[in-house]
């Protein structure tokens, strides 16, 4: 299996609902988000690519238009990194050409330098199969 990953970034603010009183994430705050989109294929195209990285430009345009310098609570009721990763995965299916969208296997979202949330439509089984 061949895989490629492209990283994007945006700045946004949010707060999380339902947290204990005084939890720092319950207050409005911002992050410098990083997003990694991974595509996979058992074979390469005629040019030796899983996909052309340029084919992912619509994702960057979407992130800049819908998320950059926005309040994420206006988009999602609970804008956790996990739910944001799922939303971005779903958006990839809408904005990418079908042949490229079908190669997207996962989306990872980072709020900080040391934490990531990962969304896969079909989690890997313990034996490695999907």
**Residues taking part in catalysis:** 25, 69, 111
Instruction: Please list the residues that pair with 41 across neighbouring strands.
Output: 2
Is 39 in a helix, a strand, or coil?
strand
CA angle 21, 23, 27 (to 5 degrees): 95
CA angle 88, 93, 96 (to 5 degrees): 100
């Amino acid at each position: 299996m061949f895989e490629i990953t492209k990283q994007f970034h945006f700045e946004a603010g949010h707060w999380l609902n339902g947290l204990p009183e005084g939890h720092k994430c319950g207050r409005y705050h911002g992050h410098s988000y990083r997003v990694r989109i991974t595509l996979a294929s058992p074979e390469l195209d005629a040019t030796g690519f899983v996909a052309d990285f340029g084919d992912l430009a619509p994702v960057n345009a979407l992130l800049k238009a819908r998320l950059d310098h926005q309040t994420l609570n206006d988009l999602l009721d609970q804008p956790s990194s996990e739910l944001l990763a799922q939303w971005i995965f779903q958006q990839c299916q809408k904005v990418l050409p079908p042949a490229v969208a079908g190669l997207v296997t996962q989306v990872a979202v980072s709020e900080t330098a040391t934490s990531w949330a990962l969304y896969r439509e079909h989690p890997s089984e313990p034996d490695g199969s999907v």
